[in-house]
Structure 1
Amino acid sequence: MKYEKQIMMLRKIQEMEFVAIELNLYLDTHPCDRDAINDFNCAVEVLQKYKEKYEAEYGPLLNFGFGGASREPWQWVQGPWPWEL
C-alpha cells in the first residue's frame, strides 16, 4: 500500500491523543494523582515527538499556523491530507 507507513504514523498519533485526552479527563476529577500526572506528561511528550516526526516526513497535520513553519512548496496542498488516508 502506497501510504502504509504514513497511516501507521497517524494511528500512533491518534492513539497517543486518546491516551492524553483520557488522562486529562481523569485528572479533572483526580487532580492530585501524581502517577496520572506523570503518565499524562509522558503521553504528551511522546505525542509531540510523533507529531514532529510525522510533520518532518509528510508535512503539517493542521493548517492555519498550528503546524509550524512550512517548507517550499506550500505543504498544506500536498496530498493526501491526514483525513484522506
Structure 2
Amino acid sequence: MKQAADPAKERYALMEKIQMVDFALVELTLYLDTHPQDTQAIQQFNQLAVESRDLKSAYEQRFGPLRQYGASFSGYPWNWGDSPWPWQL
C-alpha cells in the first residue's frame, strides 16, 4: 500500500527546487551582464525563467502565495499571512 506524501516534505522539496533555479538565474544574470552575446547562456536563462515560473505556480497552487504586491494571487479568504512564510523555509 502506498503511503501518503508528507505535505511538509513536499513544501520543502519544492521550495528547494525554486531556490536552486532562482540561484542559477541570478548567476546567469551576472554572467550575461558581462557576456551579453552568449547565445547559449541566454537560452539557458530563458529556459530557467520558464522553469522558475512553473515551479512557483505549482508551489502557489499547492501551498499558497509566494510573492507579494500583485506578483501572486490570493485564495479566499486572504491567505498571504498563512505560515510558514516563503523565507522561513
Asked whether the two chains share a fold, i.e. TM above 0.5, the reply is yes
Unaligned 5+ runs, structure 2: 1-5
Aligned counterparts of 1:83 and 1:20: Cα–Cα separation in 2: 18
CA RMSD between the two structures = 1.3
What is aligned with 2:26? 21
Hey, what does 1:11 align to over in structure 2?
A: 16
Larger Rg: 2
Structure 1 residue 70 displacement after superposition: 1.3
Tell me by how many angstroms 1:2 deviates. 5.6
- Structure 1 unmatched ranges of 5 or more: none
Distance 2:38 2:53 in 1: 23
* Rounded Cα–Cα distance in structure 2 between residues aligned with 1:2 and 1:35: 37
Q: Distance in 1 between matches of 2:12 and 2:43?
A: 28
TM-score by length of 2: 0.86
Normalised to the residue count of structure 1, the TM-score between the two structures is: 0.90
Q: Share of identical aligned residues, percent?
A: 40
Distance between the aligned counterparts of 2:7 and 2:59, measured in 1?
A: 16
Give the corresponding residue for 1:33.
38
Q: Which amino acid aligns with 1:13?
A: I
